[in-house]
Amino acid sequence: MLGVFLDRDSLDCGDLDFSGLDRILPDLRYYPVTASDQVATRIAEAEVVVSNKVMLDAAALRGAPRLRLICIAATGVNNVDRAAAASRGVTVCNCRGHVTPAVVQHVFALLLALVTRLPDYRRAVREGRWQRADQFCLLDFPIRELAGKTLGIVGHGELGRGVARIAEAFGMRVLIAQRPGAVEEEEGRVPLPILLPQVDVLSLHCPLTPETRGLIGAWELALMRRDAILINTARGGLVDEALLADALRQGALGGAGVDVLSLEPPTADNPLLAADIPNLIVTPHCAWGSRESRQRLIGQLAENIAGFLSGSPVRVVS
């Protein structure tokens, strides 16, 4: 079967082993990147298409009559017109669970940096403030402990559960938010308006859907404590970025750590990229990107293709 991998450079830094994938599909052509105007040509004869973030819309799928399988090199499949794929009998598979250790680790890297004021203390040393201090230590920035604090989690899938386990190891109390859009009360979950005033930390792990877009806006930010910290490693569109920037500037929120923005790569005028926002850490959608995580992804792509070829597809997106 002829296959194409449309955006290998989106996950490969020259440090991954693709031999398992190549054994399953020897006729797999790799492209470092694929622009939107190149998609139709590159998939025209393909039976298998692998894509991380390249858009596969209805028009592109119509021009690929031999296509049988789409493998998304990620969990989210919003870059595929699934209805168009289904109408053509094309199976869509994704990857799942491969990023959990890396993302959970990144959540706490952001959180620990914020509660210990690590960027501020690092800058203080570089600026010579410790060297000029009257005492043996510098305590210019308030340090907080996680033990005894309350963590609220929105999205209690594998990632949310992983974050909860580590939070409990730190001695934190964990509250799980009710699913956005849920009509009936869910056992063990707290409605967001009741959860927000209670939490010291809010960590987002839900998908971006019509129900969750703009989930954290003016009303939600106003419900949170002034010293609360927001962590978003899920999707940028969950949070109103301009309002978050204003809340941090005004001291209405204690801090924020975000690994995702509403447009990626972002434009220079994104509200969260301004230089005057205090207690904010922005990282470039890299939480998932450990070498181990990316290698697990390659392994899952190979499993997905092998399963399809054997007549027993796995990780099929319904």
Tally the domains of the chain.
2
Q: What are phi and psi of 69, to 5 degrees?
A: -145, 130
Same domain? 302 vs 248: no
Same domain? 56 vs 187: no
CB 151 within 8 A of CB 175: yes
Same domain? 10 vs 159: no
Find the domain containing 59 and state its range: 3-98+291-309
Same domain? 305 vs 262: no
pLDDT at 181: 74
Same domain? 170 vs 236: yes
User: Which residues does the chain have with pLDDT short of 50?
Assistant: none
Same domain? 192 vs 255: yes
pLDDT at 186: 80
> Could you give the 3-state DSSP secondary structure of residue 111?
helix
Q: What is the CATH number of the domain that holds 107?
A: 3.40.50.720
Same domain? 72 vs 191: no
Angle at 300 between CA 298 and CA 302, to 5 degrees: 75
Burial class (CB in 10 A: 0-12, 13-18, 19+), 34: buried
Q: Does some domain include residue 270?
A: yes
For residues 121 and 136, give the distance between their C-alpha atoms in angstroms, rounded to a whole number. 14
Same domain? 81 vs 209: no
- The strand pairing partners of 216, in sequence order, are 239
Same domain? 40 vs 107: no
For residues 11 and 298, give the distance between their C-alpha atoms in angstroms, rounded to a whole number. 9
For residues 51 and 85, give the distance between their C-alpha atoms in angstroms, rounded to a whole number. 14
Q: Does some domain include residue 84?
A: yes
pLDDT at 179: 86
- The strand pairing partners of 280, in sequence order, are 256
The secondary structure of residue 12, as a DSSP letter, is -
Closest CA to 86 of 101, 67, 103, 99: 67
pLDDT at 318: 83
Q: Does some domain include residue 181?
A: yes
To which residue do tokens 């959540």 refer? 107
Same domain? 12 vs 68: yes
Q: Does some domain include residue 17?
A: yes
Axis-axis angle for helices 100-115, 158-169 (nearest 10): 50
CB 93 within 8 A of CB 56: no
Q: Does some domain include residue 316?
A: no
As a dihedral over the C-alpha atoms of residue 150, residue 250, residue 210, residue 212, rounded to 10 degrees, the angle is 0
Closest CA to 258 of 231, 223, 292: 231
To which residue do tokens 């694929």 refer? 34
CB 60 within 8 A of CB 54: no
Same domain? 13 vs 93: yes
pLDDT at 180: 79
CB 73 within 8 A of CB 58: no
For residues 53 and 10, give the distance between their C-alpha atoms in angstroms, rounded to a whole number. 8
Residues annotated as catalytic (active site), given as ranges: 235, 264, 285
Q: What are phi and psi of 162, to 5 degrees?
A: -65, -40
Q: Does some domain include residue 175?
A: yes
Burial class (CB in 10 A: 0-12, 13-18, 19+), 26: exposed
Full-prediction pTM beyond 0.75? Answer: yes
For residues 214 and 229, give the distance between their C-alpha atoms in angstroms, rounded to a whole number. 18
